[in-house]
């Protein structure tokens, strides 16, 4: 079986590649050149596709004795990930570029090119498990709950899962680092990436301002009273507390949070913590890891990569979902992904379009 192993230059993808070789697969390493951002080419970048990362991946491939290539997907990444990122923020939503990249680049563009070249599967260093079901491949949470990455893979469908491999799903991070050290890989102690790869300096607000320009508007309270001004709605997300710079203290004396963003009027609304609690979500662009599960069913929903899942009633119709959670979620923003589970099995996902509390208007 011929496998393309996506090698980011980090310890996880390096050990995943080594395990594939040990299991007898015919493995070729490939590093994806995604960003043309100058800072992403610096050796000190904390993203996941810097020039230093490409060099690290090549050194690992040489150590393991496999062919290695760098494929330039930067234009498609700019169009489908960075472009979507900018459009979503300009519309007052909060996107997740990592899920978008998995959906459009790592398991679409890469798999498409790999299959055209005669490869059978794409492998990555994600912490998730693939389980053979009744004629299908099921996507499950990883053994290491602290490192589980099934959430960011929730956008994959069955046609992609049957051509995917996740060799690290049954391991802990400590085990992976120890294995890398035993193999003599220089990346054994390399820190994990912590930034959006195309914003390696971590200044998301500055990046958005540079790309979208200043777009001032008012900051108001729940009653519509003007409290201040902002330089662009894209500098804010639901649940944000820092950076509001309001000169007028709240009547209650409690901290204020962003609770609403209206792109039409460029208005940011702030309120108390309780105004962040929602238990009704609607979603668009539904994807399913197997066949669509239509109608209403009980499961769990997760709205952030490291958030705890909560019990919910999920109702699916066409490409839309309605999700009613048993306990409130705090600070959920339109544009985020909701990933639905049946215990530890990923069922599907959607992009959150609106949020609300029972008896309260939709945002």
Q: Quote the CA–CA distance of 207 and 112 in Å, as a whole number.
A: 31
pTM of the full predicted structure? 0.91
Residue with the two structure tokens 């709950």 = 145
Closest CA to 56 of 189, 197, 200, 196: 189
Q: Which residues 6+ apart lie within 8 Å of 77 measured at CB?
A: 34, 35, 101, 105, 198
CB 26 within 8 A of CB 3: yes
Give pLDDT tens digits along the chain (363 positions). Answer: 999 999 999 999 999 999 999 999 999 999 999 876 544 444 444 445 677 889 999 999 999 999 999 999 999 999 999 999 999 999 999 999 999 999 999 999 999 999 999 999 999 999 999 999 899 999 999 999 999 999 999 999 999 999 999 999 999 999 999 999 999 999 999 998 766 888 877 888 889 999 998 889 999 999 999 999 999 999 999 999 988 888 777 777 789 999 999 999 999 999 999 999 999 999 999 999 999 999 999 999 999 998 999 999 999 987 899 999 999 999 999 999 999 999 999 999 999 999 998 765 545
Measured between alpha carbons, how far is 308 from 65 in angstroms, rounded to an integer?
Answer: 40
Q: What angle do CA 110, 113, 117 make, to 5 degrees?
A: 130
Which residues have a catalytic role annotated? 101, 197
Name the token pair of 307. Answer: 């958030």
Tens digit of pLDDT for each residue in 179-213?
999 999 999 999 987 668 888 778 888 899 999 98
- Report helix, strand or coil for 29: strand
With the C-alpha atoms ordered 70, 74, 80, 85, is the resulting torsion angle positive or negative?
Answer: positive
Nearest CA among 75, 60, 72 for reference residue 29: 60
Domains of the chain, start order: 2-182 (3.40.50.620), 214-271 (2.30.30.280), 275-356 (2.40.30.10)
Phi and psi of 37, rounded to 5°? -65, 125
Q: Which residue has the tokens 């230059």?
A: 9
**Which positions ≥6 away from 45 have C-beta within 8 Å?**
39, 51, 52, 53, 195, 200
Q: Which residues contact 119 (CB under 8 A, 6 or more apart)?
A: 2, 3, 4, 28
Distance of CA 67 to the CA centre of its chain: 29
C-alpha closest to that of 339 among 278, 279, 286: 286
């Amino acid at each position: 079986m011929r496998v393309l192993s996506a090698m980011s230059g980090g310890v996880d993808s390096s050990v995943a590649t080594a395990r594939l070789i040990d299991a007898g697969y015919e493995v070729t390493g490939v590093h994806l050149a995604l960003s043309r951002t100058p800072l992403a080419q610096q050796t000190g970048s904390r993203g996941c596709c810097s020039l230093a990362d490409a060099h690290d991946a090549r050194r690992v491939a040489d150590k393991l004795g496999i062919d290695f290539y760098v494929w330039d997907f930067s234009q498609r990444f700019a169009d489908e990930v960075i472009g979507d990122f900018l459009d979503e923020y300009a519309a007052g939503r909060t996107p997740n570029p990592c899920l978008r990249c998995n959906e459009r680049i790592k398991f679409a563009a890469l798999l498409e090119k790999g299959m055209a070249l005669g490869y059978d599967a794409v492998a990555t260093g994600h912490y998730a498990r693939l389980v053979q079901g009744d004629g299908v491949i099921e996507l499950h949470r990883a053994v290491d709950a602290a490192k589980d990455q099934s959430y960011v893979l929730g956008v994959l469908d069955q046609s992609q899962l049957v051509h995917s491999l996740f060799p690290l799903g049954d391991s802990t991070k400590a085990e992976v680092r120890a294995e890398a050290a035993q193999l003599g890989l220089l990346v054994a102690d390399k820190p994990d990436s912590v930034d959006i790869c195309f914003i390696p300096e971590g200044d998301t607000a500055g990046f958005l301002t540079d790309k979208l320009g200043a777009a001032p508007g008012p900051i108001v309270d729940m009653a519509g009273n003007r409290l201040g001004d902002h330089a662009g709605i894209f500098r804010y997300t639901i649940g944000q507390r820092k950076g509001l710079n309001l000169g007028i203290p709240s009547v209650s004396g409690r901290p204020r949070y962003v609770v609403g963003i209206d792109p039409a009027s460029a208005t940011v609304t702030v309120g108390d913590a309780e105004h962040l609690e929602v238990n009704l979500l609607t979603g668009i662009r539904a994807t399913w890891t197997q066949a669509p599960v239509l109608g209403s069913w009980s499961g769990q929903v997760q709205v952030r990569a490291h958030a705890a899942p909560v019990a919910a009633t999920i109702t699916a119709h066409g490409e839309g979902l309605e999700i009613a959670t048993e306990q409130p979620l705090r600070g959920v923003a339109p544009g985020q992904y909701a990933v639905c589970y049946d215990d530890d099995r990923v069922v599907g996902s959607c992009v959150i379009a609106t949020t609300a509390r029972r008896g309260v208007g939709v945002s």
